[in-house]
Amino acid sequence: MDRSKNIFSTKIFFFSVALVFYSSIFSAYIGTTILSYLVIIFLLLSNINKIRFSVFQLIVMMLLFIYFVIVINISHDYSAALKNFKFWHGLVFYLVFLSIYDLKKFYSLNFFRLVCLILFLEILMINFIDHNFLLNFIDIENYMHFNLYFRPVGFTGSASMSSVALIILFYITEKLNGRMKILDWILFLSVVLLSYSATGYIIFILYLVFRSSNLIKKLLLLEILNLSIKNILFFIIITMLIFALYKISTSLGNQIKVGTNLSLYTRLSSDYFLYIFNLKYEEYSHAFGIMIDPALNCGLMCRDTLADEISPKLVSQNSYLIQLFGYQIISNHPSTTGHNGLTVFITSMGLFGIVVYALLLLSYYRANSNMIYGIILIIIGSLHYPAAMSGAGQLLMASMLIINTNKIKI
Protein backbone atom coordinates (compact mmCIF):
# COMPACT_ATOMS: atom_id res chain seq x y z
CA MET A 1 0.00 0.00 0.00
CA ASP A 2 2.80 2.44 0.93
CA ARG A 3 4.62 1.62 -2.31
CA SER A 4 1.46 2.31 -4.32
CA LYS A 5 1.03 5.63 -2.54
CA ASN A 6 4.64 6.58 -3.28
CA ILE A 7 4.25 5.71 -6.97
CA PHE A 8 1.03 7.70 -7.13
CA SER A 9 2.66 10.68 -5.37
CA THR A 10 5.62 10.53 -7.76
CA LYS A 11 3.30 10.57 -10.76
CA ILE A 12 1.33 13.50 -9.36
CA PHE A 13 4.60 15.31 -8.68
CA PHE A 14 5.92 14.71 -12.21
CA PHE A 15 2.58 15.74 -13.72
CA SER A 16 2.59 18.99 -11.71
CA VAL A 17 6.11 19.93 -12.81
CA ALA A 18 5.30 19.05 -16.42
CA LEU A 19 2.14 21.14 -16.15
CA VAL A 20 4.23 24.18 -15.16
CA PHE A 21 6.50 23.72 -18.17
CA TYR A 22 3.86 23.12 -20.82
CA SER A 23 1.29 25.62 -19.50
CA SER A 24 4.00 28.30 -19.47
CA ILE A 25 5.26 27.62 -22.99
CA PHE A 26 1.73 27.38 -24.43
CA SER A 27 0.13 30.01 -22.17
CA ALA A 28 -1.23 32.00 -25.13
CA TYR A 29 -2.99 28.94 -26.50
CA ILE A 30 -4.71 28.19 -23.20
CA GLY A 31 -5.41 31.90 -22.65
CA THR A 32 -3.79 32.40 -19.23
CA THR A 33 -0.59 32.07 -17.19
CA ILE A 34 -2.44 31.80 -13.89
CA LEU A 35 -2.45 27.99 -14.05
CA SER A 36 1.36 27.80 -14.12
CA TYR A 37 1.68 30.26 -11.23
CA LEU A 38 -0.79 28.32 -9.08
CA VAL A 39 1.06 25.04 -9.67
CA ILE A 40 4.41 26.71 -8.99
CA ILE A 41 3.13 28.07 -5.66
CA PHE A 42 1.80 24.60 -4.77
CA LEU A 43 5.12 22.91 -5.57
CA LEU A 44 7.14 25.54 -3.72
CA LEU A 45 4.98 25.17 -0.62
CA SER A 46 5.39 21.39 -0.87
CA ASN A 47 9.18 21.79 -0.72
CA ILE A 48 9.51 25.05 1.16
CA ASN A 49 12.31 23.63 3.32
CA LYS A 50 14.48 23.24 0.21
CA ILE A 51 14.27 26.88 -0.87
CA ARG A 52 17.60 28.64 -0.42
CA PHE A 53 18.72 32.20 -1.13
CA SER A 54 22.14 33.79 -1.26
CA VAL A 55 22.60 37.03 0.68
CA PHE A 56 22.30 39.02 -2.55
CA GLN A 57 19.16 37.15 -3.58
CA LEU A 58 17.61 37.62 -0.14
CA ILE A 59 18.20 41.39 -0.29
CA VAL A 60 16.62 41.55 -3.75
CA MET A 61 13.63 39.50 -2.56
CA MET A 62 13.12 41.91 0.32
CA LEU A 63 13.29 44.90 -2.04
CA LEU A 64 10.79 43.23 -4.38
CA PHE A 65 8.45 42.53 -1.45
CA ILE A 66 8.68 46.15 -0.27
CA TYR A 67 7.99 47.35 -3.81
CA PHE A 68 4.97 45.04 -4.09
CA VAL A 69 3.48 46.11 -0.73
CA ILE A 70 3.87 49.82 -1.49
CA VAL A 71 2.38 49.54 -4.99
CA ILE A 72 -0.62 47.54 -3.76
CA ASN A 73 -1.27 50.08 -1.01
CA ILE A 74 -1.04 53.24 -3.12
CA SER A 75 -2.54 52.01 -6.41
CA HIS A 76 -6.02 53.16 -7.42
CA ASP A 77 -6.81 49.72 -8.83
CA TYR A 78 -5.49 46.67 -6.95
CA SER A 79 -6.33 44.17 -9.66
CA ALA A 80 -4.45 46.18 -12.29
CA ALA A 81 -1.41 46.40 -10.01
CA LEU A 82 -1.50 42.64 -9.38
CA LYS A 83 -1.67 41.90 -13.11
CA ASN A 84 1.22 44.25 -13.74
CA PHE A 85 3.32 42.56 -11.07
CA LYS A 86 2.56 39.10 -12.46
CA PHE A 87 3.53 40.16 -15.97
CA TRP A 88 6.61 42.28 -15.30
CA HIS A 89 7.99 40.64 -12.15
CA GLY A 90 6.47 37.16 -12.40
CA LEU A 91 9.94 35.90 -13.33
CA VAL A 92 10.69 35.69 -9.60
CA PHE A 93 8.34 32.69 -9.24
CA TYR A 94 10.13 30.82 -12.04
CA LEU A 95 13.55 31.62 -10.61
CA VAL A 96 12.69 30.23 -7.18
CA PHE A 97 10.94 27.26 -8.78
CA LEU A 98 13.85 26.39 -11.07
CA SER A 99 16.35 26.80 -8.24
CA ILE A 100 15.05 23.52 -6.78
CA TYR A 101 13.50 21.70 -9.75
CA ASP A 102 15.44 20.44 -12.75
CA LEU A 103 13.61 20.87 -16.07
CA LYS A 104 16.47 20.06 -18.45
CA LYS A 105 14.81 16.89 -19.73
CA PHE A 106 11.81 18.90 -20.97
CA TYR A 107 14.03 20.82 -23.39
CA SER A 108 14.29 17.89 -25.77
CA LEU A 109 14.70 17.85 -29.53
CA ASN A 110 11.28 16.28 -29.88
CA PHE A 111 9.67 19.07 -27.89
CA PHE A 112 11.31 21.71 -30.07
CA ARG A 113 10.07 19.91 -33.16
CA LEU A 114 6.59 19.73 -31.65
CA VAL A 115 6.53 23.50 -31.10
CA CYS A 116 7.56 24.09 -34.72
CA LEU A 117 4.92 21.68 -36.00
CA ILE A 118 2.25 23.37 -33.88
CA LEU A 119 3.20 26.71 -35.44
CA PHE A 120 3.01 25.12 -38.89
CA LEU A 121 -0.45 23.80 -38.00
CA GLU A 122 -1.53 27.28 -36.91
CA ILE A 123 -0.27 28.73 -40.21
CA LEU A 124 -2.26 26.14 -42.16
CA MET A 125 -5.40 26.75 -40.12
CA ILE A 126 -5.43 30.54 -40.36
CA ASN A 127 -4.58 30.56 -44.07
CA PHE A 128 -6.61 27.63 -45.41
CA ILE A 129 -9.66 27.65 -43.12
CA ASP A 130 -12.21 30.46 -43.02
CA HIS A 131 -10.31 33.24 -41.23
CA ASN A 132 -13.42 35.04 -39.98
CA PHE A 133 -14.70 31.78 -38.54
CA LEU A 134 -11.45 31.20 -36.62
CA LEU A 135 -11.56 34.70 -35.16
CA ASN A 136 -14.45 33.53 -32.99
CA PHE A 137 -12.30 30.86 -31.32
CA ILE A 138 -8.62 31.82 -31.33
CA ASP A 139 -6.59 35.01 -31.02
CA ILE A 140 -5.22 35.71 -34.50
CA GLU A 141 -4.25 38.75 -36.52
CA ASN A 142 -6.88 40.08 -38.86
CA TYR A 143 -4.44 41.63 -41.34
CA MET A 144 -3.49 39.88 -44.57
CA HIS A 145 0.10 40.38 -45.71
CA PHE A 146 0.94 40.08 -49.39
CA ASN A 147 -2.84 40.17 -49.84
CA LEU A 148 -2.77 36.41 -49.33
CA TYR A 149 -0.93 35.51 -46.09
CA PHE A 150 -1.87 35.69 -42.41
CA ARG A 151 1.07 35.30 -40.04
CA PRO A 152 0.73 33.19 -36.88
CA VAL A 153 0.61 34.82 -33.44
CA GLY A 154 2.16 31.66 -32.01
CA PHE A 155 2.45 30.35 -28.47
CA THR A 156 3.00 33.78 -26.87
CA GLY A 157 0.07 35.52 -28.54
CA SER A 158 2.24 37.77 -30.76
CA ALA A 159 4.17 36.97 -33.94
CA SER A 160 7.13 39.07 -32.78
CA MET A 161 7.28 37.56 -29.28
CA SER A 162 6.73 34.02 -30.54
CA SER A 163 9.54 34.27 -33.09
CA VAL A 164 11.91 35.59 -30.41
CA ALA A 165 10.82 32.87 -27.96
CA LEU A 166 11.28 30.19 -30.63
CA ILE A 167 14.85 31.35 -31.29
CA ILE A 168 15.59 31.21 -27.55
CA LEU A 169 13.99 27.76 -27.32
CA PHE A 170 16.23 26.61 -30.18
CA TYR A 171 19.23 28.15 -28.40
CA ILE A 172 18.52 26.36 -25.10
CA THR A 173 17.68 23.07 -26.81
CA GLU A 174 20.97 23.07 -28.69
CA LYS A 175 22.93 24.01 -25.56
CA LEU A 176 21.45 21.05 -23.67
CA ASN A 177 21.35 18.48 -26.48
CA GLY A 178 24.33 19.28 -28.69
CA ARG A 179 24.45 20.31 -32.33
CA MET A 180 21.13 20.35 -34.13
CA LYS A 181 20.63 18.25 -37.24
CA ILE A 182 20.30 19.88 -40.64
CA LEU A 183 16.60 18.96 -40.82
CA ASP A 184 16.02 20.71 -37.49
CA TRP A 185 17.77 23.79 -38.84
CA ILE A 186 15.54 23.74 -41.92
CA LEU A 187 12.44 23.36 -39.74
CA PHE A 188 13.61 26.17 -37.46
CA LEU A 189 14.50 28.58 -40.27
CA SER A 190 11.21 27.87 -42.08
CA VAL A 191 9.12 28.75 -39.03
CA VAL A 192 11.13 31.92 -38.33
CA LEU A 193 10.63 33.07 -41.93
CA LEU A 194 6.92 32.21 -41.93
CA SER A 195 6.43 34.08 -38.65
CA TYR A 196 7.13 37.15 -40.75
CA SER A 197 8.43 39.31 -37.92
CA ALA A 198 11.15 41.91 -38.45
CA THR A 199 12.09 41.51 -34.78
CA GLY A 200 12.42 37.78 -35.30
CA TYR A 201 14.63 38.30 -38.34
CA ILE A 202 16.92 40.68 -36.46
CA ILE A 203 17.22 38.38 -33.44
CA PHE A 204 17.91 35.42 -35.75
CA ILE A 205 20.75 37.31 -37.45
CA LEU A 206 22.14 38.34 -34.06
CA TYR A 207 21.91 34.72 -32.96
CA LEU A 208 24.00 33.68 -35.98
CA VAL A 209 26.53 36.41 -35.17
CA PHE A 210 26.78 35.33 -31.52
CA ARG A 211 26.99 31.70 -32.57
CA SER A 212 29.93 32.58 -34.82
CA SER A 213 31.68 34.81 -32.26
CA ASN A 214 34.71 32.55 -31.90
CA LEU A 215 34.97 32.23 -35.66
CA ILE A 216 34.72 36.01 -36.07
CA LYS A 217 37.43 36.52 -33.42
CA LYS A 218 39.77 34.19 -35.29
CA LEU A 219 39.11 36.01 -38.55
CA LEU A 220 39.73 39.38 -36.93
CA LEU A 221 42.98 38.06 -35.47
CA LEU A 222 43.87 36.59 -38.88
CA GLU A 223 44.12 33.06 -37.46
CA ILE A 224 42.76 31.71 -40.73
CA LEU A 225 45.11 28.73 -40.75
CA ASN A 226 43.50 27.46 -37.51
CA LEU A 227 40.03 27.38 -39.07
CA SER A 228 38.51 24.11 -40.21
CA ILE A 229 36.84 23.76 -43.60
CA LYS A 230 33.51 23.39 -41.78
CA ASN A 231 34.00 26.73 -39.99
CA ILE A 232 34.96 28.47 -43.21
CA LEU A 233 31.89 27.13 -45.01
CA PHE A 234 29.67 28.15 -42.10
CA PHE A 235 31.08 31.68 -42.18
CA ILE A 236 30.57 31.92 -45.94
CA ILE A 237 26.93 30.77 -45.66
CA ILE A 238 26.17 33.29 -42.89
CA THR A 239 27.85 36.10 -44.82
CA MET A 240 25.87 35.26 -47.96
CA LEU A 241 22.61 35.09 -45.97
CA ILE A 242 23.17 38.51 -44.35
CA PHE A 243 24.23 40.02 -47.68
CA ALA A 244 21.13 38.57 -49.41
CA LEU A 245 18.84 40.05 -46.74
CA TYR A 246 20.61 43.39 -47.09
CA LYS A 247 20.18 43.41 -50.89
CA ILE A 248 16.51 42.48 -50.59
CA SER A 249 16.02 45.23 -48.02
CA THR A 250 17.68 47.94 -50.10
CA SER A 251 16.10 46.86 -53.38
CA LEU A 252 12.61 46.90 -51.91
CA GLY A 253 13.21 50.01 -49.84
CA ASN A 254 11.57 52.51 -52.19
CA GLN A 255 8.82 50.30 -53.59
CA ILE A 256 6.38 50.31 -50.72
CA LYS A 257 6.07 53.20 -48.28
CA VAL A 258 5.46 52.48 -44.61
CA GLY A 259 2.15 53.77 -43.36
CA THR A 260 0.46 53.69 -46.76
CA ASN A 261 0.38 49.98 -47.46
CA LEU A 262 1.46 47.44 -44.87
CA SER A 263 2.28 44.78 -47.41
CA LEU A 264 4.87 42.03 -47.39
CA TYR A 265 7.64 44.40 -48.34
CA THR A 266 7.35 46.60 -45.26
CA ARG A 267 8.91 43.94 -43.02
CA LEU A 268 11.91 43.64 -45.34
CA SER A 269 12.41 47.09 -46.79
CA SER A 270 15.03 49.59 -45.69
CA ASP A 271 12.24 52.18 -45.41
CA TYR A 272 10.52 50.02 -42.82
CA PHE A 273 13.61 49.62 -40.66
CA LEU A 274 14.48 53.32 -40.88
CA TYR A 275 10.90 54.23 -40.01
CA ILE A 276 10.87 51.87 -37.03
CA PHE A 277 14.29 53.08 -35.83
CA ASN A 278 13.20 56.73 -35.86
CA LEU A 279 9.88 55.85 -34.24
CA LYS A 280 11.59 53.88 -31.46
CA TYR A 281 14.04 56.69 -30.82
CA GLU A 282 11.23 59.23 -30.45
CA GLU A 283 9.11 56.98 -28.26
CA TYR A 284 11.99 55.98 -25.99
CA SER A 285 13.04 59.62 -25.62
CA HIS A 286 9.48 60.56 -24.70
CA ALA A 287 9.16 57.64 -22.25
CA PHE A 288 12.29 58.68 -20.36
CA GLY A 289 11.02 62.26 -20.40
CA ILE A 290 7.69 61.43 -18.78
CA MET A 291 9.52 59.51 -16.05
CA ILE A 292 12.04 62.27 -15.31
CA ASP A 293 9.29 64.90 -15.02
CA PRO A 294 5.80 63.33 -15.26
CA ALA A 295 3.89 66.52 -14.54
CA LEU A 296 5.65 68.40 -17.36
CA ASN A 297 5.96 65.74 -20.06
CA CYS A 298 2.96 63.46 -19.66
CA GLY A 299 0.49 64.36 -22.38
CA LEU A 300 -1.30 62.43 -25.09
CA MET A 301 1.43 59.75 -25.21
CA CYS A 302 0.79 58.84 -21.58
CA ARG A 303 -2.87 58.28 -22.27
CA ASP A 304 -2.05 56.16 -25.31
CA THR A 305 0.46 54.05 -23.38
CA LEU A 306 -1.81 53.46 -20.40
CA ALA A 307 -5.09 53.25 -22.32
CA ASP A 308 -6.38 55.68 -19.73
CA GLU A 309 -7.57 59.27 -19.49
CA ILE A 310 -5.19 60.78 -16.95
CA SER A 311 -5.80 64.30 -15.73
CA PRO A 312 -2.74 66.59 -15.53
CA LYS A 313 -3.74 67.44 -11.97
CA LEU A 314 -3.63 63.78 -10.92
CA VAL A 315 -0.21 63.32 -12.52
CA SER A 316 1.11 66.49 -10.87
CA GLN A 317 -0.13 65.42 -7.42
CA ASN A 318 1.57 62.03 -7.71
CA SER A 319 4.66 63.06 -9.68
CA TYR A 320 7.33 61.68 -7.32
CA LEU A 321 5.43 58.47 -6.65
CA ILE A 322 4.99 57.96 -10.40
CA GLN A 323 8.74 58.31 -10.90
CA LEU A 324 9.39 55.52 -8.40
CA PHE A 325 6.43 53.19 -8.93
CA GLY A 326 5.15 54.06 -12.39
CA TYR A 327 1.85 55.22 -13.84
CA GLN A 328 0.24 51.98 -12.68
CA ILE A 329 -0.55 53.64 -9.35
CA ILE A 330 -3.03 56.02 -11.02
CA SER A 331 -4.16 53.76 -13.85
CA ASN A 332 -7.33 51.70 -13.96
CA HIS A 333 -5.95 49.25 -16.50
CA PRO A 334 -2.97 46.86 -16.44
CA SER A 335 -0.11 47.67 -18.80
CA THR A 336 0.86 44.22 -20.03
CA THR A 337 1.00 44.71 -23.77
CA GLY A 338 2.12 47.07 -26.51
CA HIS A 339 5.27 47.68 -28.47
CA ASN A 340 8.42 49.23 -26.95
CA GLY A 341 8.59 46.73 -24.12
CA LEU A 342 11.20 48.69 -22.16
CA THR A 343 9.28 51.97 -22.30
CA VAL A 344 6.07 50.28 -21.20
CA PHE A 345 8.02 48.64 -18.36
CA ILE A 346 9.55 51.93 -17.19
CA THR A 347 6.41 54.03 -17.47
CA SER A 348 4.17 51.38 -15.94
CA MET A 349 6.39 50.06 -13.13
CA GLY A 350 8.63 53.04 -12.38
CA LEU A 351 12.35 53.36 -11.77
CA PHE A 352 12.14 51.29 -8.57
CA GLY A 353 10.41 48.50 -10.45
CA ILE A 354 12.92 48.26 -13.29
CA VAL A 355 15.92 48.50 -10.92
CA VAL A 356 14.56 45.63 -8.83
CA TYR A 357 14.05 43.57 -12.00
CA ALA A 358 17.65 44.22 -13.08
CA LEU A 359 18.90 43.25 -9.60
CA LEU A 360 16.81 40.09 -9.78
CA LEU A 361 18.54 39.07 -13.01
CA LEU A 362 21.98 39.87 -11.56
CA SER A 363 21.32 37.98 -8.33
CA TYR A 364 20.61 34.74 -10.20
CA TYR A 365 23.12 35.18 -13.00
CA ARG A 366 26.23 33.02 -12.74
CA ALA A 367 29.54 34.37 -14.04
CA ASN A 368 30.34 31.01 -15.65
CA SER A 369 26.97 30.76 -17.39
CA ASN A 370 27.17 29.39 -20.91
CA MET A 371 23.84 30.96 -21.88
CA ILE A 372 24.72 34.64 -21.70
CA TYR A 373 24.08 35.16 -25.43
CA GLY A 374 20.54 33.82 -25.09
CA ILE A 375 19.86 36.18 -22.18
CA ILE A 376 21.12 39.12 -24.24
CA LEU A 377 19.01 38.09 -27.24
CA ILE A 378 15.73 37.83 -25.34
CA ILE A 379 16.36 41.21 -23.67
CA ILE A 380 17.06 42.82 -27.06
CA GLY A 381 13.98 41.11 -28.52
CA SER A 382 11.89 42.55 -25.67
CA LEU A 383 12.75 46.11 -26.64
CA HIS A 384 9.98 45.84 -29.26
CA TYR A 385 7.36 43.60 -27.68
CA PRO A 386 8.08 42.26 -24.15
CA ALA A 387 8.85 38.65 -25.11
CA ALA A 388 10.76 38.04 -21.86
CA MET A 389 7.61 38.80 -19.84
CA SER A 390 5.28 36.36 -21.59
CA GLY A 391 4.63 33.02 -19.90
CA ALA A 392 7.07 31.28 -22.22
CA GLY A 393 9.56 34.14 -21.96
CA GLN A 394 9.67 34.05 -18.16
CA LEU A 395 10.31 30.30 -18.16
CA LEU A 396 12.99 30.59 -20.86
CA MET A 397 14.72 33.49 -19.11
CA ALA A 398 14.75 31.68 -15.75
CA SER A 399 16.02 28.52 -17.43
CA MET A 400 18.96 30.35 -19.01
CA LEU A 401 19.87 31.95 -15.70
CA ILE A 402 19.94 28.89 -13.43
CA ILE A 403 19.19 25.69 -15.30
CA ASN A 404 22.60 24.13 -14.58
CA THR A 405 22.45 24.40 -10.77
CA ASN A 406 21.72 21.47 -8.47
CA LYS A 407 18.02 20.79 -8.26
CA ILE A 408 15.48 18.12 -7.39
CA LYS A 409 15.41 15.49 -10.14
CA ILE A 410 12.07 14.59 -11.65
Chain segment 197-230, per-residue pLDDT in tens = 888 988 998 898 888 766 555 554 545 555 566 6
Residue 152 has pLDDT above 60, yes or no: yes
Whether residue 410 is contained in a domain is answered as no
Q: Average pLDDT of 81-106?
A: 92
Whether residue 376 is contained in a domain is answered as yes
Whether residue 393 is contained in a domain is answered as yes
Whether residue 409 is contained in a domain is answered as no
Mean pLDDT of the chain: 79
Which residues 6+ apart lie within 8 Å of 365 measured at CB?
375, 401
pLDDT for res 233: 65
pLDDT for res 257: 44
Whether residue 91 is contained in a domain is answered as yes
Phi, psi of 360 (to 5 degrees): -60, -45
Domain that residue 307 falls in: 2-402
Residue 234 has pLDDT above 80, yes or no: no
pLDDT for res 208: 85
Q: Which of 18, 384, 19 lies closest to 203, judged by CA? A: 384
| Number of domains forming the structure of the chain | 1
Is residue 394 a contact partner of residue 90, using CB atoms and an 8 Å limit? Answer: yes
Whether residue 53 is contained in a domain is answered as yes
How wide is the angle at C-alpha 103 spanned by C-alphas 83 and 403, nearest 5°?
85
- Length in residues, the chain: 410
Whether residue 75 is contained in a domain is answered as yes
Q: Average pLDDT of 11-39?
A: 89
Which residues 6+ apart lie within 8 Å of 389 measured at CB?
87, 88, 90, 91, 336, 341, 345, 382
pTM (global) more than 0.85: no
Q: Which of 89, 110, 118, 96 lies closest to 26, judged by CA? A: 118
Whether residue 346 is contained in a domain is answered as yes
Euclidean distance between CA atoms 192 and 252, whole angstroms: 20
The 3-state DSSP class for residue 149 equals strand
The 3-state DSSP class for residue 83 equals helix
